[in-house]
Structure 1
Amino acid sequence: MPTVRRISHQFLERRGLTTVFGNPGSNELPFLAELPASFRYVLGLHEGVVVGMADGYAQATGRPVLVNLHAAAGSGNAMGALTNAVYSRSPLVLTAGQQVRSAIGLEAMLANVDAAHLMRPLVGWSGEPSCAADVPRSLAQAVFEAELHRRPTYLSVPYDDWAQELDDSVAVTLDREVRRGFAPTEDQLAELVGQVSTARNPALVLGGDIDAAGLFDRAVALAEHLALPTWVAPSPHRLPFPNRHRLFRGVLPAGIAPVSTALAGHDLILVLGAPVFRYHQHVPGPYLPEGSRLVQVTDDLGAATRAPMGEALVADPGAVVEALLARTTARGGETGYVPNPEPATAEEALHPEQVFAALRETQTADTTYVVESTSTNSAWWRQMDLRQGSSYFFPASGGLGFGLPAAVGMAMGRPDRPVVAVVGDGSANYGITALWTAAQHRVPVTFVILRNGTYGALRWFGGLLGTPDVPGTEIPGLDFTRIAEGYGVPATTVTEVDELHAQLKAVADGPRLIQVDTQLTTPE
């Protein structure tokens, strides 16, 4: 008779979840035993890095990915990184080992007490099977929940379950299929087409879900078809529209009043694939400018129900984009791209704009950038020219430690595209052990570390909040070249623009790290 382990491995194999990101403890070893040859186990040296790599892999592939964590302590280590995966809507399937069933109530060492509640409310579903025979069904539910809701799930399994034998009837789980569909009705489409067609001055706001769904080019076509000035929703974790396009108006500010000010004069605000809105700085004011109407189209039920204003249509944004293209009269919008300005310079170090201009000038158009440097984002958008989908990724909840691991996962998930991680020196320390995994698997990522010796975003917030004199914002004395070499990644420091260009043009057959001293800048 088949064992729980065998049936579970077969189910995962049939569903394509054969890349496993993990950091195992003793409770996980029985699941990992007899792992089929088709599986690839990617070891991370810290659970936060494990989840960050899996997040990048899931965003790159658009498919669920399996994460294998230890019980309570290991799962707890992963929760910071998990917040990013929640808001990027990454379908991670987190599994964790549990003590043997007879020891859970005793709270033996490494027991995960009340395991199903540990990761809530972050995960969309969590559970622990009621008995060994229920493990395959529970695992299938974890996978399908992650796929349907595009949100991480968590399954805790007592380790003595894996070797239990099952009767052949459990094999029916292997053939299960669960499909998703949110097609808008004809009446809903007709109403939306009418709203857009009769609007005097409509505007378009796009969110990261547009890029995740592969709608980057179709969003461009819609904006040009209807001559729509286009913004990206606040706090973007992906770029859904070319940032140098003539219709691009920028990333909306992450405050209530500034959003309203930015959208003033538009009678209809059509928001596709985004919450309304992911605010950050608390700047109260009217949610919308006077005389405007907001219509949100999203397949995220939570984003639709928690919004404080506007109308929401829960539907596939792709179907809505195609309907608007087919059923509205073209208005002849602007096409083409605007040139980048000359980069700003600095006296004692390179200005971040010089670094980003060098990336733009040396890297191919299909490069994927994983960015975790908040204090330089104004410089980033001034100098980069991103015209393809899946070109930009940022920690979706602002949780530090995303950049280095996610870049490794992205490069593994999409080996056909070059990957560059642009990470600040403060952020880099949170996920630094990802360098070891990159070296072990010879993942071809270019890590660019911007070193300014501070937590730059905190310095900026200090001014914003009227607290400029707080401690803990300086981080001098870090040398990432020596750290990287210790993990097995070749590294160098550059101080001149020409030297930076030369290093970025050099071809590498594995990971490399370039440390650049930069002037401190602010997000705005």
Structure 2
Amino acid sequence: MVTVSEAFYRVLRHHRVTAVFGNPGSNELPFLTGLPKDIPYYMALQEGAAIAMADGYAQASGSTGFVNLHAASGTGNAMGCMTNAASGHTPMVVMAGQQARRYVPVQAMLTNVDPVRLCDPLVKWSGEPLRPEDGPALLSKGLMLASAAPAGVVYLSVPLDDWDEPADEAALAHLLGRRTEAAPVAPQHALDVMVDALEHAAAPALVLGPGTDTEAGHRAAVTLAEHAHLPVWLAPSAPRAPFPTRHPCYRGQLPSAAGAVGEALAGHDVVMVFGAPVFRYHAPSSADFLPPGVALYGVTDDPDEAARAPFGRIVVADPSDALVRVAKAVPHTSRPRPTPRVLPEADTGGPAFSAEAILDAIDRGKSDDAVIALEWTSVDMLRDRLTLTRPRSLYYPAAGGLGWGLPAAVGLRLGCPERPVVALIGDGAMQYTPAALWSAVRHRVPVTFVVCVNTKYHALQEFSEVLHVPEGGYLDIPGIDVLHLARGYGMRAHRAETLDDLTEAVREGMTAEAPRLIEVRQR
């Protein structure tokens, strides 16, 4: 007899799920009784950390993340990091348990929290089996939906007494034989319009987002920029870095305010956007979205992103595929080449250092194949000081939800063990999911964590100035000892007293076999 538990793991293998991340409760323990040795289970001490580890793993490995969480309260604790997974289109199945079927009336009396409905605003689909034998089919459906464009999070809730029940073996045989394939491809006539617009534009520009951070998309973006002599921007608050930061066409990241975006793109008559929303705005502005006379064209695989764009001609399709086809079709141009930009010199005075100097020191120490997990949010607009030449080299919380970066770095290294990972974390952001340091130590995941200590909520202090809010010291966060926190979880920790010390510590981390934390003081 094949049990529901055994059937679940067969379905996971069939869909190439290679790891489970979790922070289970009592309702989830029966799922672990059948855990096979070829699918490792990575334990997190907090639910948000489990989500972020699975998020990083899925993005780095190209597989679907699978998370085992406790039901209502556990799901609630995970919601912050789940917003990043949903906004980042990370394929993920979150599976929680629920009371035994014979206890359901009692459960209804004890609580009115429904974890399935709790997740509805964030997930593509949620479900629970009507019969125990329906569970494997719902899992298969969830895995396929999670990876279907636009990829995202699905939620599955399974009663704790289902696992030892007999599976429907005939249905299981069909599940293990079926596949779905779907690649939304832009119609050629829509791309012909974009190619024609580029050929006839006087001063076109290119804006890229996470949807083109693939091997093919990265190459095509460089080819298109060089053939058409296009200045290239990243979309506002982009969670990936899909273009080389030292390329002469690169212009940096667009700001996240309507007026500021308009100013950055002033002087251009055609703007092409691939793989990003049009646009994400964070800072308030009463200015118009774009200067008059600018025509915008875009490609996204998310119909919701296309529908909410306030302007432009948007195609719903695979943005990397569209970018490859447009790059092949656009001929070399006689327009002048963009003038390479020069980054300003950093102030290297200490003992507390400028953000620019810290980033430069890290850049000197990291290897070319290093992956950056960035949750030092106050330096988002300075990320260009990092030399990034390869796709999938930088990851940032897609919805801006803090607590993601530290555990995501662990998942990134597990998902792509051949590339070293450096996590750049603010001292405030570290406090959301510090328990992920334990997971890194427990599973011996060699991530280099660089925690930048400024003893204040720097990003909000900047917004206080924008919004004309008296700051008054409310956003200071003194008294946190980062080194003792890390050592308490069993991690090697070190304070970099000089920029050279920081560079050398990062360089050593490129070949380290265990995780380590470096603290550096920022002014």
Matches within 5 A, 1:215-294: 215-294=217-296
Q: Which residue identity does 2:163 align to in structure 1?
A: W
Q: Which residue identity does 1:216 align to in structure 2?
A: H
Q: Does 1:512 align with 2:516?
A: yes
Shift of 1:281: 0.8
Q: In structure 2, what is the Cα distance between the partners aligned to 1:267 and 1:497?
A: 43
Q: In structure 2, what is the Cα distance between the partners aligned to 1:427 and 1:266?
A: 37
Shift of 1:377: 3.0
Partner SS, residue 249 of structure 1: strand
CA 1:283–1:4 in structure 2 vs 1: closer, same or farther (change >3 Å)?
same
Q: In structure 2, what is the Cα distance between the partners aligned to 1:110 and 1:26?
A: 16
Shift of 1:177: 0.6
Residue in structure 2 matched with residue 485 of structure 1 by the alignment: 487
Partner SS, residue 459 of structure 2: helix
Residue in structure 1 matched with residue 4 of structure 2 by the alignment: 4
Q: Which residue identity does 2:500 align to in structure 1?
A: D
Matches within 5 A, 1:487-506: 487-506=489-508
Q: Which residue identity does 2:506 align to in structure 1?
A: L
Partner SS, residue 24 of structure 2: coil
CA 1:167–1:82 in structure 2 vs 1: closer, same or farther (change >3 Å)?
closer
Partner SS, residue 478 of structure 1: coil
Tell me the alpha carbon deviations over residues 405-456 of structure 1, each in whole angstroms, 9 at most, x when there is no partner: 0110001001111100011101011111110000011111100010011011
Matches within 5 A, 1:162-241: 162-171=163-172, 172-212=174-214, 214-241=216-243
Q: Which residue identity does 1:207 align to in structure 2?
A: G
Gap runs ≥5 in structure 1: 520-524
Q: In structure 1, what is the Cα distance between the partners aligned to 2:503 and 2:186?
A: 49
Shift of 1:212: 4.8
Partner SS, residue 104 of structure 1: helix
Residue in structure 2 matched with residue 452 of structure 1 by the alignment: 454
Tell me the alpha carbon deviations over residues 53-72 of structure 1, each in whole angstroms, 9 at most, x when there is no partner: 11111111122111000010
Q: In structure 1, what is the Cα distance between the partners aligned to 2:521 and 2:121?
A: 40
- Is the 1:21–1:68 Cα contact (8 Å) retained in structure 2? yes
Matches within 5 A, 1:308-323: 308-323=310-325
Partner SS, residue 431 of structure 1: coil
Q: Which residue identity does 1:166 align to in structure 2?
A: A
- Is the 2:231–2:338 Cα contact (8 Å) retained in structure 1? no
Q: In structure 2, what is the Cα distance between the partners aligned to 1:323 and 1:499?
A: 46
Residue in structure 2 matched with residue 42 of structure 1 by the alignment: 42
Matches within 5 A, 1:112-131: 113-131=113-131
Matches within 5 A, 1:49-88: 49-88=49-88
Shift of 1:474: 1.0
Q: In structure 1, what is the Cα distance between the partners aligned to 2:48 and 2:447?
A: 19
Partner SS, residue 78 of structure 1: helix
Question: TM-score, normalising length from structure 2?
Answer: 0.95
Shift of 1:352: 1.9
Q: Say which is worse superposed, 495-504 or 263-272, in terms of deviation.
A: 495-504
Q: In structure 1, what is the Cα distance between the partners aligned to 2:243 and 2:82?
A: 26
Q: Which residue identity does 1:55 align to in structure 2?
A: D
Q: In structure 2, what is the Cα distance between the partners aligned to 1:142 and 1:379?
A: 38
CA 1:163–1:337 in structure 2 vs 1: closer, same or farther (change >3 Å)?
farther
- Is the 1:17–1:66 Cα contact (8 Å) retained in structure 2? yes
Residue in structure 1 matched with residue 402 of structure 2 by the alignment: 400
Residue in structure 2 matched with residue 365 of structure 1 by the alignment: 368
Tell me the alpha carbon deviations over residues 7-60 of structure 1, each in whole angstroms, 9 at most, x when there is no partner: 111110121113000011111111111211111000000001111111111111
Partner SS, residue 254 of structure 1: coil
Partner SS, residue 374 of structure 2: strand
Residue in structure 2 matched with residue 440 of structure 1 by the alignment: 442
Partner SS, residue 96 of structure 2: strand
Q: Does 1:158 align with 2:159?
A: yes
- Is the 1:245–1:335 Cα contact (8 Å) retained in structure 2? no
Shift of 1:198: 1.8
Q: Does 1:13 align with 2:24?
A: no
Q: In structure 2, what is the Cα distance between the partners aligned to 1:262 and 1:227?
A: 17
Tell me the alpha carbon deviations over residues 458-488 of structure 1, each in whole angstroms, 9 at most, x when there is no partner: 1111111111235531111111111111101
Partner SS, residue 176 of structure 2: helix
Q: Which residue identity does 2:376 align to in structure 1?
A: S
Tell me the alpha carbon deviations over residues 128-177 of structure 1, each in whole angstroms, 9 at most, x when there is no partner: 11211211111111111100031111000111111111342222112221
Q: Which residue identity does 1:328 align to in structure 2?
A: V
Tell me the alpha carbon deviations over residues 184-233 of structure 1, each in whole angstroms, 9 at most, x when there is no partner: 22322322222222222211110111115752222111111111111111
Gap runs ≥5 in structure 2: none
Q: Which residue identity does 2:180 align to in structure 1?
A: V
Q: In structure 1, what is the Cα distance between the partners aligned to 2:505 and 2:198?
A: 49
Partner SS, residue 432 of structure 2: helix
| RMSD, matched Cα | 1.9
Q: Say which is worse superposed, 292-301 or 350-359, in terms of deviation.
A: 350-359
Partner SS, residue 175 of structure 1: coil
Q: In structure 1, what is the Cα distance between the partners aligned to 2:61 and 2:438?
A: 22
Q: Say which is worse superposed, 500-509 or 388-397, in terms of deviation.
A: 500-509
Q: In structure 1, what is the Cα distance between the partners aligned to 2:102 and 2:375?
A: 45
Q: Say which is worse superposed, 510-519 or 331-340, in terms of deviation.
A: 331-340
Residue in structure 2 matched with residue 522 of structure 1 by the alignment: none
Q: Which residue identity does 1:217 align to in structure 2?
A: R
Q: In structure 1, what is the Cα distance between the partners aligned to 2:340 and 2:441?
A: 38
- Is the 1:104–1:112 Cα contact (8 Å) retained in structure 2? no
- Is the 1:184–1:316 Cα contact (8 Å) retained in structure 2? yes
From 329, 335, 354, the counterpart of 2:357: 354
- Is the 2:237–2:380 Cα contact (8 Å) retained in structure 1? no
CA 1:76–1:422 in structure 2 vs 1: closer, same or farther (change >3 Å)?
same
CA 1:82–1:464 in structure 2 vs 1: closer, same or farther (change >3 Å)?
same
Partner SS, residue 495 of structure 2: strand
Shift of 1:390: 1.2
Shift of 1:272: 0.4
Partner SS, residue 324 of structure 2: helix
- Is the 1:210–1:273 Cα contact (8 Å) retained in structure 2? yes
Tell me the alpha carbon deviations over residues 256-307 of structure 1, each in whole angstroms, 9 at most, x when there is no partner: 1111121122111110000001111111221221001111111111111111
- Is the 2:75–2:115 Cα contact (8 Å) retained in structure 1? no
Matches within 5 A, 1:141-152: 141-148=141-148, 149-152=150-153
Q: In structure 1, what is the Cα distance between the partners aligned to 2:314 and 2:301?
A: 10
Partner SS, residue 106 of structure 1: helix
- Is the 1:244–1:386 Cα contact (8 Å) retained in structure 2? yes
Q: In structure 2, what is the Cα distance between the partners aligned to 1:53 and 1:371?
A: 14
Partner SS, residue 513 of structure 1: strand
Q: In structure 2, what is the Cα distance between the partners aligned to 1:437 and 1:72?
A: 23
CA 1:324–1:236 in structure 2 vs 1: closer, same or farther (change >3 Å)?
same
Q: In structure 2, what is the Cα distance between the partners aligned to 1:480 and 1:109?
A: 44
